[in-house]
Chains A and B, each alone.
Chain A
Amino acid sequence: MTRTPADSPASAYDMGHADEAEALATFAVLVDNEPGVLHRVVGLFAARGYNIESLTVAETDRGSGASRITIVTRGTAQVLAQIEAQLQKMVSTRHVHNVTTDPNGAERELALVKVNGAGADRAESLRLAEIFRTRVIDTTRTGFIFEITGAPGKIDKFIGLMRPLGLAEVSRTGVLSIERGVEAS
């Protein structure tokens, strides 16, 4: 019998289960910009029981008739592959890109972080904010609002540092993504 690369496990069920851990993934979905298209995407996630961690959507540029939807979701490798295939299957979809698995994928998020504190905590929050290259967009006698951009992990880290210093409220945009290099998706 001819041996093929797929021969090694006797069955699909003998395959290792190491890839069954859940992971986060960011999908960039380029869709035709038409009424109801966001509902199609969101409805697909709801109907098939997929989780949406964050979602951003906007028209890409006037005239192209396209919107870019960036969705952060969570699932096993099989579920993520299924999400990608289901998104790709929609008639309104032009292109689906898994940014997470792409070494050229860039992800950025913007957050507004309100921190209330006095004395040493207040000074410390400002000092950390400078390290994270945030902008101060509002200053009161008892606190700041910082504007921070970066990869989601960086923002998580900043929020974690602010928590003991009087973190009051966080507003995040959700993830935006693009691929590095000259090519357009």
Chain B
Amino acid sequence: MTAHTQIKASQPAATAAEIMTGAEMVVRALVDQGVTDLFGYPGGAVLPIYDALFHEPRLRHVLVRHEQGATHAAEGYARSTGKCGVVLVTSGPGATNAVTGIVDALMDSIPLVVITGQVPTHLIGTDAFQECDTVGITRSCTKHNYLVKNIADLPRVMHEAFAIATSGRPGPVVIDIPKDVQFASGAYVGPAQARPLHNYQPRTEGEPAAIAQAAALIVGARRPLFYTGGGVINAGPAASASLRELAALTGAPVTSTLMGLGAFPAGDPAWLGLVGMHGTFEANNAMHDCDVMIAVGARFDDRVTGRLDAFSPGSKKIHIDIDPSSINKIVRADVGIIGDAGKVLTALIAACKRHRQGPDAKRLAPWREQIEAWRARDCLRYRPSTEVIKPQYAVERLYALTKDRDTYITTEVGQHQMWAAQFYQFQEPHRWMTSGGLGTMGYGLPAAVGVQIAHPKSLVIDIAGDASVQMTMQEMSTAIQYDLPIKIFILNNEWMGMVRQWQQLLHGERYSHSYSASMPDFVKMAEAFGAVGLRAHTPGELDAKIEEMIDTPLPVIFDCRVEREENCFPMIPSGKAHNDMLLGEDARDIGSVIDAGGRGLV
């Protein structure tokens, strides 16, 4: 920002009504909402807002290279800070390009406010240049959205959008603002004075009777298990602390969904690792055999449950979720508790302590023995090599060399994502950014940009795949522009690895269009952007190259050449139960394992 950017917007909030333009209101409302950074791309229908931004030194705007990148960067920013991510894009293609990230945020419950420009109100519906029905397109993929046709509504909508995005189950909110409304003048209203139109007050405190019932089940359990999800992360660091306390109090082991990694420390002996399709043998068998399952902020996704009619057949299920529609959606809960994960966990701790029987971790000894027997299978074991880099080995070394640093990990989607989830050990929440629900290839690089903006001194690594990373590669240019030393660690096997794996296992090894026959030279690509390119071919050179990557003060693209045909195990094939896992050593004849029904599933 330059020195001439001092105008009235930077003055402290006054109580008397201030008259300003719609564009100035947008900028002012962002400041009043505590926003410091936003991600966007200008265009005709948002030029007045960009003009107002030009005069506002308190907001840092990060210029992306594609609007999808802006939404993912805002997601990474939000996920790593707990704050609301903010996106500013233009009408038409600006809005449609942002849709992928908006859906991604909806599926993973990430708070975003996405401001889109729109053609002037008198042109709406005329197929004007760069017009699209933004609110129509985004109605089903936002938590809520607005088309602001009247300047008088704008301040209220701005503040209400932040409240809706960040409260209850978080999610994306789109505000579509026609250009004439951006130019119009009106009275600004601050967050404290704004009267919301909608009476949106999600329940956050769990019902005491249900909590007492849950505590009785937990205290009486002989094979209890915590199954935790992204809701624990969203509920803030206090929720993770409560989860750790309750787990220690009850002695129950903990597994987690992909979105929930880090809420419980991977270094704790009670940690079972990831659950679900590529989860560990011990986690999935514990899910199947537990007698009381405590699901916290998790939604029984199909990647977690596997075959539903064989899902954890002998357990009482306690389901804690802030979204009432999550409870009984997929799996019937014996005790459903609607509320904020942190508040309910805290209440459960008190209720367990109050219980006349009291928690007794010693009684769980046989359950722990059983779990250790499962753990002894060492399900993540892979065949090491001295010639080629195994992708699992690469993630293991990356973890070993970064674990003592202030590190944030993002991923793309595919095999590398699962290996990252299996082999990178997360000890704290908010350190792991991945696209879980939507499974968006191309998420990780722009997400790393957003994380690095929020944490400029930290080490931010995108564990990437060679195919995914090419979907949003242009955001390297953003990283260069803002001096963001993100590290793109590509597990390069020249395939769309997970597609290849499924084609091998389910489609008779017919590798239809999953091989990238013309791979770019990632080292030269890095140099073309002004970043640093590194490449490793052998396990012997890997550590030194990773160290070099970490020590480089610039963005790095690391082309880690890994075993091409490695498959990701363990795996619950589609249509199979949790105790019907494939381990690495079974990997030979898999085609016969999956029946026609399983092949039809995703």
Contacts and interface: CB of A to CB of B under 8 A. Distances in A.
A40 B135 CA distance: 11
A36 B324 contact: no
Interface residues of A, number: 30
Interface stretch (A80-88, A99-107, A121-129, A172-180): A80-88
Given A11-B314, A32-B198, A2 B357 contact: yes
B213 A36 contact: no
A15 B332 contact: yes
Contacts of A1: 220-221
A40 B139 contact: yes
Contacts of A15: 332
A12 B332 contact: yes
A142 interface: no
Contacts of B199: 94
Interface in B305-334: 309, 311-317, 323-325, 327-329, 331-334
A4 B324 contact: no
A6 B210 CA distance: 11
Given A2-B216, A36-B139, A13 B313 contact: yes
A2 B220 contact: yes
Nearest to B145: A36
Interface string A4-46: 1011001111010000000000000000101110011001100
B532 to A, nearest CB: 45
Interface string A79-119: 00110011011111010000000000000000000000000
A47 interface: yes
A92 B335 CA distance: 28
Contacts of B311: 13
Interface in B282-323: 309, 311-317, 323
B164 A82 contact: no
A90 B173 CA distance: 12
A78 interface: yes
Interface string B360-400: 00000000000000000000000000000000000000000
Contact of B325 (A7, A39, A82): A82
Nearest to B213: A4
Interface in A144-176: none
A167 to B, nearest CB: 39
B297 to A, nearest CB: 16
Contacts of A82: 325, 328-329
B497 to A, nearest CB: 31
Contacts of A94: 199
B471 to A, nearest CB: 25
B219 interface: yes
A10 B324 contact: no
A75 B355 CA distance: 40
A103 to B, nearest CB: 24
Nearest to B356: A2
B516 interface: no
B219 A2 contact: yes
Contact of B334 (A6, A35, A39, A81): A6
B363 to A, nearest CB: 10
Given A2-B219, A78-B328, A89-B325, A43 B198 contact: no
Contact of A11 (B197, B200, B313): B313
Contact of B213 (A6, A81, A91): A6
A36 B135 contact: yes
Contacts of B309: 13
A47 B140 contact: yes
A12 B334 contact: yes
A85 B139 contact: no
Contacts of B213: 4, 6
Contact of B314 (A4, A10, A88): A10
A92 B311 CA distance: 35
A43 B141 CA distance: 11
Interface in A55-74: none
B316 A6 contact: yes
B553 interface: no
A139 to B, nearest CB: 44
15 contacts: A2-B355, A2-B357, A6-B217, A6-B335, A11-B312, A34-B197, A36-B135, A36-B139, A40-B139, A78-B328, A81-B328, A85-B329, A88-B324, A92-B144, A92-B198
Interface of A: 1-2, 4, 6-7, 10-13, 15, 32, 34-36, 39-40, 43-44, 47, 78, 81-82, 85-86, 88-92, 94
- Interface pairs A-B: 5 shortest CB-CB: A1-B220, A85-B325, A12-B332, A91-B144, A2-B216
Interface of B: 135-136, 139-140, 143-144, 147, 164, 197-200, 213, 216-217, 219-221, 309, 311-317, 323-325, 327-329, 331-335, 355, 357
Given A85-B324, A89-B324, 8 more contacts: A6-B213, A10-B313, A12-B333, A32-B198, A78-B332, A82-B328, A86-B325, A89-B325
